[in-house]
Amino acid sequence: METIVESTINLADYQTKNVFTGRLKGEDVRVRSKVDELEANSQLITVIIPETIFSINPSFLEELFKNVVKKLGRDKFLHKFNFISNGRYKIKMDINEAIERILEDN
């Protein structure tokens, strides 16, 4: 029986405010979280959004996930990455916008 390798990115580890905005912050979190390496070595990745977050800007998400979205495409990315929000923020609209932008640039 094959073991499924799961990884977690907890955005609380990179939080400085109650929002995640901008490409520079997205790049910082991409590098520090090693999301590209996690994607290559994991079958499932859970992204935990802290309950104190009330906004995540699509430009932040674009920069954070640009390499993995380009590699996997929309459907495989959404299948592999599971987003859990512990608060009121819902990521669906923002992540979909970010994916669209990434794929348009590709």
Residue ranges of domains in the chain? 6-105
pLDDT digits (tens, 9 = 90+) for 47-92: 999 999 999 999 999 999 999 999 999 999 999 999 999 889 999 9
**pLDDT for the residue 86:** 82
How confident is residue 44, by pLDDT bands cut at 50, 70 and 90?
A: very high
pLDDT category at 1 given cuts 50, 70, 90 is low
Q: Residues of 11-24 as b/e, b for ≥16 C-beta within 10 angstroms?
A: beebeeeebbeeee
pTM: 0.93
Residue with more model confidence, 1 or 4? 4
Percent of the chain with pLDDT over 90: 92
